[in-house]
Chain A
Amino acid sequence: MTQASGAASGPAILVEGLTKSFGEVRALRGIDLSVPRGTVLGVLGPNGAGKTTAVRILTTLMLPDGGRAVVEGYDVVRDAAAVRRSIGLAGQSAAIQEELTGRENLEIIGRLYHLSWPRARGRAAELLAQFELADAADRPAKGYSGGMKRRLDLAASLVGQPKVLFLDEPTSGLDPRSRLGMWEIIRSLVADGTTLLLTTQYLDEADELADEIAVIDHGLVIAAGTAEQLKDRVGGDVVEFTVPDRTRINDAAAAVAKIMAGSGEAGGEPHVDPETGVIGVGVGGRGSEALIDTVRALDAAGIETRDLALRRPSLDDVFLALTGHSAEDEEPQGRRRGRRRGQRGGQRGDKKETERTTT
């Protein structure tokens, strides 16, 4: 465990009961987070869940309404200046001066971190090499590709060698290849012992990069734990298959709905995606037994299937089970609320849940 110098001990980031409203909109309704030093927390949630608000408060850009947030032992409100000396931030867009070259961008940031000119130059050259921007270093950033701009932006957030790094949706808007490249870079940063808080809408990204994941929806942490723990909460394995004949998709769902009846295990409610024709059923620990039952049930109903398989649940399943909607789609407020209230029954009975349904 990396022990940082100074007064700070305990977790690198500690958040307790943080709240923030914008007029009528309650962006954060009391979130708690704890990120041990040298680990990665993935904050996962759809657009408008409150992720960016949380990051803005933790990076001293915004004051909370209530609750407490501590970064590297410093309170983000009372010791904002000390927090700023410990953190790096890369936001959702590339916050770089496009008219200037990559090198100039980093040198200026270095100067603003009060490095001497030679050290600012040295640090810029080091980061340009590390982020594979050395060849483009003396060209205006305007001409960089999207991936290069984001890499430069990330490099800028590291000029001050932060102990805690905040990345707000670091790969949004990137093509798949740049995204993989970004993951590679982020992994290497973490290997250095930097504590990282990363927000994302992409479940695979959180799964790939984070040690722990906090799922945020409508300003509340609705689940937290490792990816494995979250997956276990869905109720174990998932039997999944595709129905090529879309007209029979409801028959298929009805047929498999029965397979978990009487088993006394969680799961069993089939999730149907009418667009792709994919049906998934949580089957708890019944694994291969449930797989055989599914084949029999579908065979009895005379439904042809493709790609029938037993798999571990993805974070997508987790999100669906927790919120009633998938992470990527954003539904109208009213419809979503209604649905959630309906299906909540006893899934989680803690204090916050009560607060949420009453508001």
Chain B
Amino acid sequence: MTAVAARPGSVAPPSLRLRFGWAVTDTLTITRRNLLVWMRVPAYLMFTVIQPVMFVLLFRYVFGGAIHVPGNYVNFLMPGIIGQTAAFASFGTAISLAQELKKGVIDRLRSMPMARSAVLAGRLVADAGRMLATILIIVAVGYAVGFRFTNGVLAAIVMVVLATVFGLSICCIAAYTGLAIGDEESVQAFGLTWLFPITFLSSAFVPIATMPGWLQAFANNQPVTFIINAMRALAMGGPLEANMWKSVACLIAIFVVFLPLAVRAYRRAG
């Protein structure tokens, strides 16, 4: 290394177009890095893929017999499992960001002349990819235990997209909490305390009508139920529109509130 070598960061401020180009390549670099890390750690694969597969088998063969729904339980179950899996993918988001914050990785990235948006954007893109891969594996496992899409290919694709967008919205909340709390154990505990109830107290695994009245009031009117119902309608047919609108409204609301919060937490991180 000599002082004569060209400095990579030129002193002249880069043009707007160049900066936009960098924002894209920086996001892709971070995405690539995050996916590489994910594939390198067996434990991450274990939690993100094996756990939902175990849930499929558990509900299909152990609890399923005791749960009565109109039609086939496995068809009722799969959209619920997929929705929950997408939501739980956010644990990875929160824990990774909290770890990076603690280890000083975020500090290093923030002190570099890279696009400021890229760390969060790359994280969310990688998480979306991770989620999509997981969902496809679960659908395959579902097919092996008797699940079938009965509403056409297009609706099935829309369902997968809806699940992924839902998962991403939860990832935004997780990114915010991960950066704001900054400690992986606390972040994990915090995630469990709200994600577990909100996904189980919904239409994901059982018909809400079987719950006590006070619980029905909550379960019938919370975002996870709207989204699972919409996904179920997309997978199996049935009344879609009302649930779809409510789902889209909830998703927009989550993004509008939590994306700016996550960005702010990133800027102030540490």
**What are 29 A-B contacts with C-beta separation under 8 Å?**
A6-B11, A59-B107, A60-B110, A61-B107, A84-B111, A84-B112, A85-B7, A86-B9, A87-B111, A91-B104, A92-B104, A93-B103, A94-B103, A95-B103, A97-B33, A99-B36, A100-B33, A108-B29, A109-B112, A113-B9, A113-B113, A114-B25, A119-B8, A126-B1, A130-B1, A140-B40, A160-B8, A160-B112, A160-B113
Question: At the interface, yes or no: A158 with Cβ under 8 Å from chain B?
Answer: yes
Contact of B104 among A93, A100, A112, A115 (CB under 8 A): A93
Contacts of A160 in B (CB 8 A): 7-9, 112-113
Decide: B11 and A112 in contact? CB cutoff 8 A. no
Question: At the interface, yes or no: B41 with Cβ under 8 Å from chain A?
Answer: yes
Contacts of A84 in B (CB 8 A): 9, 111-113
A193 to B111, CA, bound (A): 21
0/1 interface trace, chain B 1-29, chain A, CB 8 Å (1 if under): 11101011111010000000010011001
Contacts of B41 in A (CB 8 A): 99
Chain A 63-114 residues near chain B, CB threshold 8 A? 81-82, 84-89, 91-97, 99-100, 104, 108-109, 111-114
Interface residues of A (CB under 8 A from B): 2, 5-7, 56, 59-62, 81-82, 84-89, 91-97, 99-100, 104, 108-109, 111-115, 119, 126-127, 130, 140, 156-158, 160-161, 163, 192-193
Given A6-B11, A130-B1, the answer on whether A104 and B113 have CB atoms closer than 8 Å is no
Decide: B105 and A96 in contact? CB cutoff 8 A. yes
A5 to B3, CA, bound (A): 11
Decide: B1 and A161 in contact? CB cutoff 8 A. yes
Contacts of B108 in A (CB 8 A): 89, 91, 95, 109, 156-157
Contacts of A111 in B (CB 8 A): 25, 29
A112 to B105, CA, bound (A): 13
Decide: B270 and A112 in contact? CB cutoff 8 A. no
Contacts of A114 in B (CB 8 A): 8-9, 22, 25, 113-114
Contacts of B270 in A (CB 8 A): 56, 61-62
Chain B: minimal CB distance from A135 (Å): 20
Contacts of B109 in A (CB 8 A): 112
Decide: A163 and B7 in contact? CB cutoff 8 A. yes
Question: At the interface, yes or no: B215 with Cβ under 8 Å from chain A?
Answer: no
A84 to B8, CA, bound (A): 12
Question: At the interface, yes or no: B37 with Cβ under 8 Å from chain A?
Answer: yes
A100 to B8, CA, bound (A): 24
Chain B: minimal CB distance from A159 (Å): 8
Contact of A112 among B5, B26, B37 (CB under 8 A): B26
Interface residues of B (CB under 8 A from A): 1-3, 5, 7-11, 13, 22, 25-26, 29-30, 32-33, 36-37, 40-41, 103-105, 107-114, 118, 270
A160 to B8, CA, bound (A): 6
Chain B: minimal CB distance from A19 (Å): 18
Given contact pairs A82-B13, A112-B109, enumerate 17 new A-B contacts (beta carbons under 8 Å): A56-B270, A59-B107, A84-B111, A84-B112, A85-B10, A88-B111, A91-B107, A91-B108, A99-B40, A100-B36, A108-B29, A112-B30, A113-B113, A140-B40, A161-B1, A161-B7, A163-B7
A192 to B33, CA, bound (A): 31
A92 to B102, CA, bound (A): 11
Contacts of A96 in B (CB 8 A): 103, 105
Decide: A89 and B111 in contact? CB cutoff 8 A. yes
Q: Enumerate the 8 nearest inter-chain pairs by beta-carbon distance, A residue then B residue, closest first.
A: A85-B9, A95-B104, A6-B11, A91-B104, A112-B114, A99-B40, A95-B108, A84-B113
Contacts of A93 in B (CB 8 A): 103-104
Decide: A192 and B9 in contact? CB cutoff 8 A. no
Decide: B114 and A113 in contact? CB cutoff 8 A. yes
Chain B: minimal CB distance from A183 (Å): 18
Contacts of B32 in A (CB 8 A): 108
A262 to B261, CA, bound (A): 68
Contacts of A7 in B (CB 8 A): 11
Chain A: minimal CB distance from B92 (Å): 13
Contacts of B118 in A (CB 8 A): 112
Closest residue to B2 on the A side, CB-wise? A192
Contacts of A85 in B (CB 8 A): 7, 9-11, 113
Contacts of A140 in B (CB 8 A): 40
A104 to B35, CA, bound (A): 13
Closest residue to B5 on the A side, CB-wise? A161
Decide: B3 and A2 in contact? CB cutoff 8 A. yes
Closest residue to A2 on the B side, CB-wise? B3
Given A2-B3, A95-B104, the answer on whether A100 and B40 have CB atoms closer than 8 Å is yes
Contacts of A113 in B (CB 8 A): 8-9, 112-114
Closest residue to A160 on the B side, CB-wise? B8
Contact of A82 among B2, B11, B40, B112 (CB under 8 A): B11
Decide: B112 and A112 in contact? CB cutoff 8 A. yes
Contacts of B104 in A (CB 8 A): 91-95
A81 to B8, CA, bound (A): 14
Contacts of A112 in B (CB 8 A): 26, 29-30, 109, 112, 114, 118
Decide: A115 and B13 in contact? CB cutoff 8 A. no
A114 to B40, CA, bound (A): 25
Chain A: minimal CB distance from B245 (Å): 41
Chain B: minimal CB distance from A273 (Å): 35
Contacts of A163 in B (CB 8 A): 7
Chain A: minimal CB distance from B241 (Å): 45
Given A100-B37, A111-B25, the answer on whether A81 and B13 have CB atoms closer than 8 Å is yes
Closest residue to B40 on the A side, CB-wise? A99
Residue of A85, A93, A113 with highest tally of chain B CB at under 10 A: A85
Contacts of A127 in B (CB 8 A): 1
Decide: A89 and B107 in contact? CB cutoff 8 A. yes
Contacts of A91 in B (CB 8 A): 104, 107-108
